[in-house]
Structure 1
Amino acid sequence: MPFFSSNKRQLRVAVIGTGFSGICAAIKLEQQLGIKAQIFELNKDMAGTWYANRYPGAECDIPSHLYSFSFEQNPSWTKHYSSQPEIYAYLQGVARKYGLYERTKFETEVVRAEWNEQQHQWFLEWRNVHDHEQTGSGYFDAVMSGLGGLRIPNVPKEFQSFSGPIVHTTFWDNKLDYANKKIAVIGSGASAIQAVPELQKIAKHVYSYQRTPAWVSVRDQYTYSRTWKFILRWIPFVLRFYRILIYIKHELFFVNFKYQKFLGEYVKKKFVAGMSARLTAAGRPDLIPAVVPDYPVGCKRITKSEIYLEALAASNVTVIRSGVDEIKGQTLIDKDGNETEVDILILATGFHVDDVSGNLKIYGRNGVFLKDLWEYEKKSYKSVTIHGFPNYFTLLGPSSGLGHNSIVTIIEIQVDYAVQCIKRLIKKDLAAIEPKKEAQEKFVADVQKGFEGTVWKGGCKSWYMNKNGEIYSLWSGSITSFYFALRKPIFNDFIEYKRTKNTTLTNGK
């Protein structure tokens, strides 16, 4: 039964973002607390990163039946690994089912969130993304931030001098003609691995610049038959059991990440053999030294593709391991002095994971600016709450990233945790709640200790790390351990602010 009734205080909650995090938060708030949150979305439609990332070949590297909400399982996925259009359509359908479109301000950017100590509320300011003169503001009792880590594209300054068309994979230009063009692709992460094979099919030549190659495994991709989809739809137990099996399979792979000392070399040999065999079969064993990594498997995110290595072996693809040193017009000069003239420059350079807030300025108690606070150490308590920022719940923030399983499961656990905290506000008639500093420090220390001996300490550089080489983006355990860590809030670890007669609360404007 939902936790609300007519005699209980109704809180006003803002949800920022409509990716998996924001959609889940809005649904759970209404289901469990009766709160119809005000939702803000930067784009003109739902789905977050799955709305924005439309480059050719964009797909998920987690199986469809696991990369979806546990409370909205979809028996009709067409493939084991879904493409961007299908995930986008799924999230649209979930949002429509729960009536989220009606209370979402689309093409609206929240630019300021400031904690008002007197009112014990968050004051939010927002603006239209096309016309900054169209603004709005309002007060909210709590904020659930679903900004996500893969939000602000990384566009390195050294590439901005290129005189031809520049396309970041997150801002794919479908109007541009890529056929029979010489194309340079910068990067070797997931987006490059998915885009390069599609570009190779139509381009005159593709130049793949990759300073650090990626570990690539073959996906067990296949299309679901009509019979299997019929079974999943009409026998719900099978659908749930199938999801559990996929979850267990991925969860077991964490053993390699955790016990790198004992399993690392064995796993690495298997990956080296697999990638070498594929390149040899494609007639390009000479690419093995350039394309097969030497760092531990999992130190950077493992990518999945059955066609990427084969595309690199094609006659119209050149792999360049030397980074770009200089750009003159449309000519790229690498660090070895080699010059390559191209028609189009594609940046598969990822995101600014250390600065997911973008234009949003977040100020907590005593005017503390979150961006400054997190510049060197991104600390949180249980990955959801932050000392000094009452009633602010961040989703997919510090200590919540993964390298082996579905991030959607992490999101659901975080949302359930945040909802329990908001329920506490209502039940105890509190003005605000925030974690104690000592509780936050202990949590961070425990997570950091958990990285000892893991693959992430294997010596490579990745987006998991900050500029000092410290890992604050990832959870150092399995999803199962994450669930037990957040299953039930320990309210002794929180500062609870009582409501007083002097506390002025407002519904905002």
Structure 2
Amino acid sequence: MSLKDNNKKLSAAIIGTGFSGICAAIKLKKELDIDAQLFELSKDVGGTWYSNTYPGAECDIPSHLYSLSFELNDSNGQAEIHEYLRNVAKKHNLYEKTKFQTEIIHAEWKEKEQKWFLKWRNTNNHQETNSAYYDVLFSGLGPLRIPNIPKEFSKFQGPIVHTAQWDATIDYTNKRIAIIGSGATAVQVIPQIRKIASHVYSYQRTRAWTVLRDQFSYPRIIKFIFRWLPFLMRFYRIFLFLQHEVYYVAFGYYKSLIARSFQKLMEKVLAWRLKRVGRSDLLSTLTPDYPIGCKRVAKSEIYVEALAKPNVTVIPCGVSDIKGRTLIDKEGNETEVDILILATGFDTQGFTGNLDIYGRNKTLLDEKWRKEFPKTYKTVTVHGYPNFFSLLAASSALGHNTVVAQAEIQVDYSIQCLKHMIKNNLGALEPKASAQERFSKELQKSFNGTVWKGGCNSWYLNDAGEVYGLWSGTIISFYWALRKPDFRDFIEYKKTDGINLSM
């Protein structure tokens, strides 16, 4: 009897339909013949690539890397990537398996039933609720979901727009616009918004390392070859992947000669770009005072040039107060604007945002992870949360390569766990506390000497200064760590068995 034949009663729920959720649904069907139930808060699939529609939103790594390995693609812009994900979902019949505009309001592990109890409601009608039990729960929420909206900006008496909640109904034409933030989102939106604004004021508390993108316009003949000879496109993808793996040297060994030489080169490139547009005076304002990679490196060939335009003013400090529509920066300068755009990122520290996930003993995962380092076992499973698989959450981001590959690795790891459960007639599986503790300590220790401990403040760090958002090595090392589960590190429960809390 095959695993598929032995698995007719196993059910799975997937929260989120971004890259990780879509990948999980496809592989559950392909590997185990499980038709997972997907839950999506929005009107369509896509996750981040559906929600973020601000001007200039696009992939900042080579587009050939930013697709699932079994569905190759070369999309770049937000609309293109979203359309790619829609096509993948249609091809694998995921739309009919997805409850759209549905918010999970409660997820709790029930020990007696050895199942996850999920309760949800319709986002348009909160009185319309429903619930069900599932054997397995996948969280494909991703860290870039809940906008970080600092309360101090609520005093602004004019239109306020967060980039993750872009309001296209507002007329930005010929307006004085303040943009708060200097991260990857600001790097993308400023060059576009300054084209229609009368003036843009870029408030930068921290200078950002901005390097040229690895994006190219491919001749028609190359596109033709890739379309009809897909194995060549796969080889090209492998080349790009290995090239980006090499970039890790600059981050993992940032005090090395290679890394220091790379940073000097980037400083020279920045100076050259500013000199070319006649704004060398901005060099000291835009050159970061921390090692490259300590914060997320942004990529753009037009951002630095946009800051040099006559209708853009760089304000190298944050906002200290707001009076009406006047922003007062920390140097006491006052600037009146019409519209305030917040490129202030996301609430990443809890990873579950506004979703309540309760494990054994009704322990709330978000509360647990906000109070301490978010411990996992191999970044996917969590002690105290049986049959729960977390995708692209704690310790899963990257600073040098594509997270899509990491999502696939995590899904493959989860599938191996489920195959083990089915083969051995298990009702529940979770990592031992000792295994999780060992993994978490080793992971934290592995960040010593890397650029992410280089002294800057970034979203990679929690309030205690621990690197909680990143994997410490290459994707190859990530694959090696997750290539095969060691079930000696797991607590296994036969079906109908109660949970032995002493184990």
Query: In which range does the TM-score fall when normalised by the shorter chain?
Result: over 0.9
User: Identity percentage over the alignment?
Assistant: 59
**In 2, Cα distance between equivalents of 1:244 and 1:209:** 39
Tell me the residue number matched to 1:506: none
Tell me the residue number matched to 2:81: 87
**In 2, Cα distance between equivalents of 1:298 and 1:343:** 34
Alignment of 1:110-509 (within 5 A): 110-262=104-256, 263-375=258-370, 376-500=372-496
**In 2, Cα distance between equivalents of 1:500 and 1:151:** 36
Displacement of 1:9: 4.6
Displacement of 1:236: 2.2
SS of 2:195's equivalent?
Answer: helix
Displacement of 1:8: 4.0
Using the TM superposition, name which of 465-474 and 96-105 deviates more. Answer: 465-474
Tell me the residue number matched to 1:27: 26
Displacement of 1:2: 8.0
**In 2, Cα distance between equivalents of 1:149 and 1:211:** 22
Tell me the residue number matched to 1:507: none
What is the total number of aligned residue pairs between the two structures?
Answer: 497
Q: Which amino acid aligns with 2:53?
A: R
**In 1, Cα distance between equivalents of 2:329 and 2:2:** 60
Task: Give CA deviations for 1:138-179 in whole Å, capped at 9, x if unaligned.
Answer: 100010000000000000001011110000001111111111
Displacement of 1:356: 2.9
Tell me the residue number matched to 2:43: 44
Using the TM superposition, name which of 399-408 and 230-239 deviates more. Answer: 230-239
Q: Which amino acid aligns with 2:85?
A: L
Using the TM superposition, name which of 492-501 and 438-447 deviates more. Answer: 492-501
**In 1, Cα distance between equivalents of 2:182 and 2:290:** 14
Displacement of 1:224: 2.2
**In 1, Cα distance between equivalents of 2:2 and 2:151:** 50
Alignment of 1:32-111 (within 5 A): 32-74=31-73, 77=74, 82-111=76-105
SS of 1:277's equivalent?
Answer: helix
Displacement of 1:267: 1.9
**In 1, Cα distance between equivalents of 2:35 and 2:420:** 17
SS of 1:214's equivalent?
Answer: coil
SS of 1:261's equivalent?
Answer: coil
Structure 2, unmatched stretches of 5+, are: none
**In 1, Cα distance between equivalents of 2:115 and 2:214:** 49
Displacement of 1:218: 1.1
Task: Give CA deviations for 1:463-490 in whole Å, capped at 9, x if unaligned.
Answer: 0000111111111010000001000000
Task: Give CA deviations for 1:320-349 in whole Å, capped at 9, x if unaligned.
Answer: 012100001110001111100000000000
**In 1, Cα distance between equivalents of 2:37 and 2:2:** 19
How big is the alpha-carbon RMSD for the aligned residues of Structure 1 and Structure 2?
Answer: 1.4
Displacement of 1:310: 0.6
Using the TM superposition, name which of 187-196 and 261-270 deviates more. Answer: 261-270
Task: Give CA deviations for 1:254-277 in whole Å, capped at 9, x if unaligned.
Answer: 011111121332222111111111
**In 1, Cα distance between equivalents of 2:129 and 2:404:** 32
